[in-house]
Amino acid sequence: MRIIGLYGHGGCGKSATMNFLKEILRVAGRSISSMPHPNSEKPETFEYKGLVICVAPGGDTGDIVQQNVDYFIHKKCDVAFSASRCKGEPADTLNRFAKSIGVNVDWVPKSYEYNLSDATQQLCNEEIAQFLFGKI
């Protein structure tokens, strides 16, 4: 399993970016979740080029990241994307899981540029989602 963690502080657009990634995967592949949750904090599973890919937009607490990890295990995914805070229990939880299966988390930073318009920030989120998609 490959694990990609999108990290940043609260309110920087991690969930929005992950939801853009979900949309990219819906178009490029297909959702195999029984009840897909577009534009939400809930995880979703996709098939793309023969891979099972899980995307979990929530990640502001250790408990949420642990739920993401449990979801990844249950879905037996090949590639797992999780949002996380940059340090503390959320990051520690994802790192512990990765270590337990003999891999490292591929950490990708997500920042918020404070003087951008909402439209420009959205474009930044979409660009990072494309970058994440390229890691598959």
Q: Output phi, psi for 50, to 5 deg.
A: 80, 0
Give the model's pLDDT for residue 51.
98
pLDDT band per the 50, 70, 90 thresholds, residue 39: confident
pLDDT band per the 50, 70, 90 thresholds, residue 52: very high
Q: What whole-number distance in Å separates Cα of residue 126 and Cα of residue 63? A: 27
Q: Output phi, psi for 71, to 5 deg.
A: -65, -45
CB atoms within 10 A of CB 13: 21
Residue 12 pLDDT exceeds 90: no
Give the model's pLDDT for residue 122.
86
Give per-residue pLDDT as tens, 64-99.
999 999 999 999 999 999 999 888 899 999 999 999
Helix axes 14-28, 118-133, angle to 10 degrees: 50
Give the model's pLDDT for residue 111.
77
Give the model's pLDDT for residue 117.
81
The answer for residues whose C-beta is within 8 angstroms of residue 86's C-beta and 6 or more apart is: 7, 8, 9, 109
Give the model's pLDDT for residue 65.
95
Say what the pTM is. Answer: 0.92
Residue 60 pLDDT exceeds 90: no
Percentage of the chain modeled with pLDDT above 70: 98
Percentage of the chain modeled with pLDDT above 90: 70
Q: What whole-number distance in Å separates Cα of residue 73 and Cα of residue 87? A: 23
Give the model's pLDDT for residue 115.
72
Give the model's pLDDT for residue 59.
87
